[in-house]
Amino acid sequence: MRKIISSLLLIVVLVLATAPTQAQESTPQLRAFWVDALHGGFYNQAQVDELVNNVVRAGANTIIMQVRHHGDAWYNNSIEPRAVKAELTPASEFDPLGYMLAKAHSMGVRVHAWVVVSVVCRPSDPLWGNPAHVCTSHGPTAQGAERWTTATYDGVQVGDLDFGHPSAITYMESVVTHLAQAYPDLDGVHWDFIRTAGKTYGYNQVSVERFNRAYGRPLDSRPDPSDPAWSQWRRDRISELARRLYIRLKAIKPTIQVSAATITWGGAGSTGNWEESSAYRQVFQDWPAWLNEGILDFAVPMHYFDEGVERSRNWYDSWLAFDRAHAGRRAIAPGLGAWLNSADQNIGQVQRALAPDDQGRTLAGVAFYSYAGPFAGSNDEARRAFMDQLRASVFAQPASAPDWPWIATPSSGMLRYDLAADRRDALEH
């Protein structure tokens, strides 16, 4: 009898040892949905419950939740004023981010806080004129060095922070560090609009004076938008912002993941001539350099291309080729303009994004823009059906959200040393 029992125990042990576990079956792959603040998704507990259930239903694993739109907070614990929207449950009853973290984590879904970085105010915003809003004291109507926002070459004042002004960077550091400290369970922070609005932007008075001083030019001169040195100055300031935010966040929580929605307008750059791309040349966002430097953990390039238009479809495929060749030290997960295409077309774009190239190089996953419109003409019922379609096709195999090796087992780090703005200027050139 003892021999029989021992044999049975041995069989059980062998079965358990050889049976595939969930961790073994689950291949790391980012499967994300951007969830924007201007459509329903997290205005109350019921919406959050439905959102998380839909993400799980699809076989996805990550929610990129917009927590900052125009210098506002779609969460309760912030140094910026809480967002105003009639449908949003009052702060006394509901914290959208706090509840999202609790609900998502209970179901194995990660949450990344989506932060619109540069755009802070427009006259049509509900918080326009609010005394606690950054634009009221430091926006387009402020004077001299108190104006942290940008201007165009023609002198039009715009409600976007200008990161050639040291105070604008310091302010964003404060917003982001407070967010990470107030919500320690955050899995990641995701930048949007971490760039200028265009080639003729970036003419904040303080930034222009700093540039002129650095290059030995008259302080009252105004560089041409196409001036190579001026273009590089603006590019460097955006990269400085990305670097400083990354270091600040990692000092608070080394395992937090930092990502960005990055520009891939049109076809320029997809052939490999990066310096002719819109991101590099027009909005001064050198995101492949950020990946190489290691100040982004992963990029989510916004490949918003209509599958029904041949030129757009070709651009999409050429950008995928670019992505596979330019992940650098980090990772790239393409962002799909899902609202532009049918459900089947989106499935096709996912399949092409996840396929390896002829050198065996693969991408880290995909993100859908957006949860509110996961395909053209979507509604609530059709969205649920699309989630089922994802689960039955491209997301049929389980996938865990990636724990990037440079985070899990780091082999290098960064040193932070704070200098006053005037000393930084002296060291820049």
Domains along the sequence of the chain with CATH = 27-428 (3.20.20.80)
Q: How far is CA 152 from CA 125, 200, 271, 290, in A?
A: 21, 5, 30, 26
Strand partners, 34: 64
Average the pLDDT over 364-373 and give the result: 99
What percent of the chain stands above pLDDT 90?
Answer: 87
Q: How confident is the model at residue 273 (pLDDT cuts 50, 70, 90)?
A: confident
Rounded Cα distance between 63 and 367, Å, is 9
**Do 263 and 196 form a contact (C-beta atoms < 8 A)?**
no
Distance (Å, whole) CA 139 – CA 125: 13
Evaluate whether 300 touches 261 at the Cβ level (below 8 Å). Answer: yes
**pLDDT-derived band at 247, boundaries 50, 70, 90:** very high
SS3 at position 241: helix
pLDDT at 429 (0 to 100): 47
Q: What do you get for the CA distance between the two ends of the chain, in Å? A: 84
Distance in angstroms (rounded) separating the CA atoms of residues 166 and 144: 14
In whole angstroms, what is the distance from residue 60 CA to residue 30 CA?
A: 8
Task: Report d(CA 92, CA 278) in Å as an integer.
Answer: 44
- Would you say residue 26 has pLDDT above 50? yes
Torsion of CA 268, 273, 277, 282, to 10 degrees: -140
Whether pLDDT at 2 is above 50: no
Q: In this predicted structure, what is the pLDDT of residue 338?
A: 98
Mean pLDDT for the stretch of residues 255-261:
99
Question: Taking 70 as the threshold, does the pLDDT of residue 272 lie above it?
Answer: no
Nearest to 301 by CA among 343, 255, 349, 341: 349
Instruction: Give the number of other Cβ atoms within 10 Å of residue 299's Cβ.
Output: 27
Above 70 in pLDDT, residue 154?
Answer: yes
- Among candidates 334, 165, 301, which has minimal Cα distance to 234? 165
39 pLDDT higher than 80: yes
Prediction pTM value: 0.92
**Predicted local confidence at residue 367, as pLDDT:** 99
Residue 355 has pLDDT above 70, yes or no: yes
Q: Would the pLDDT of 182 be above 70? A: yes
Residue 21 is predicted with a pLDDT of: 41
pLDDT-based confidence at residue 168 (cuts at 50, 70, 90): very high
Amino acid at 416: R
Summarize pLDDT for 101-122 with one digit per residue, the tens: 999 999 999 999 999 999 999 9
d(CA 123, CA 106): 40
Please state the rounded mean pLDDT for residues 334-358: 98
Q: Is 427's pLDDT higher than 60?
A: no
Average per-residue pLDDT for the chain: 92
- What whole-number distance in Å separates Cα of residue 37 and Cα of residue 55? 17
